[in-house]
Amino acid sequence: MTCFSSADESAHYGFSVCMLLEQYRTQLRWEEQGVVELGTGDATAIADVVAALPGLRVRSFDISAPSVETARANIAARGVADRYTVELGDFFDQADSAFGPPVSTVISNPPYIPAPDGDILMPELWGGVHGNDLVLRLFKAGYDNVVAAVASYSDPLETVRTAGDLGYRVVNFLAMGLDYGTYSSEPKVRDHIRRLCAEGRGWAGDDGYMVAIALFTRDPDLPGDRGDQLLRALQV
């Protein structure tokens, strides 16, 4: 087991979460409730967000023990351990029981590597056959607001449609082109991505792909319906 490492992607995730939390500060109610996070990784991205937003508290979970160890050290080094906590375990096991007061917003750069099975470089990053299993589970977990990474090769059309079927709209998003990294370059994964794109389940270029960090909501007080724009930004 290793710790997820992809500096550009983590920076994109952190910057975008910060922008969306700032822009929708009142509606996401994070000053009152805090937020929860699926998948801490090394924690650097969100530790910087916590440092930048003094009222923010984040309760995070990761199934990777080395990630949790690295994350705790990085959080302590940035001086935000009182507002950014990390627990070892499956987010969905904890989410049912342990959250106490209601939390309406979950943030995540979830595992989205598509592959025929989980026998890949870092199995914790397997997102199922189409890559979107974890984000779909987040929509079914009952949060009003889901701020999550959506990759262009992980069947974004199915992701947006399923979100819509469950009552979510895309309020806004930030999209960025990323080069293939260590995990998506693994030959077994690259071949699978090519097959998925040929089947119309996403887009990937020769050198890279797109990732958007999108705010999905089912809160009627939060306007916006940018699902079509999101899919266009992801080249779908």
Ligand X SMILES: C[S@@+](CC[C@H](N)C(=O)[O-])C[C@H]1O[C@@H](n2cnc3c(N)ncnc32)[C@H](O)[C@@H]1O
Closest contact distance (angstroms) between CB of 40 and ligand X is 6
Number of other CB atoms surrounding residue 30 within 10 Å: 22
- Beta pairing partners, 38: 61, 108
Distance CA 67, CA 83 (A): 18
Residues 48, 182, 212, 139: is their CA dihedral positive or negative? negative
**Interface with ligand X by CB under 6 A: which residues?**
4, 10, 13, 38-41, 45, 61-64, 67, 90-92, 109, 111, 124-125
Between 37 and 219, CB nearer to ligand X? 37
C-beta of 49 vs 233, nearer to ligand X = 49
- d(C-alpha 87, C-alpha 186), whole Å: 29
Buried b (16+ CB within 10 A) or exposed e, 10-21: bebbbbbbbebb
In the complex, least distance from residue 83 CB atom to ligand X, rounded to whole angstroms: 16
* Residue closer to ligand X, measured from CB, 125 or 170: 125
Give least dist CB 13 to ligand X, A.
Answer: 4
User: Taking the complex as a whole, how short is the minimal distance between the CB of residue 183 and ligand X, in angstroms?
Assistant: 8
- Tell me the Ramachandran region of residue 225: left when phi exceeds 0, alpha when psi lies from -120 to 50, beta otherwise: beta
Nearest alpha-carbon partner for 45 in 11, 3, 83: 11
Nearer to ligand X, 145 or 154 (CB): 154
Of the pair 45, 171, the CB lying nearest ligand X is at 45
Would you say 86 or 236 has its CB closer to ligand X? 86
Residue 151, beta-bridge partner list:
211
Distance of alpha carbon 172 from alpha carbon 98, whole angstroms: 29
Question: Which DSSP string do the residues of 196-213 spell out, in sequence order?
Answer: HHHTTS----SSEEEEEE
CB of 176 to ligand X, least distance (A): 13
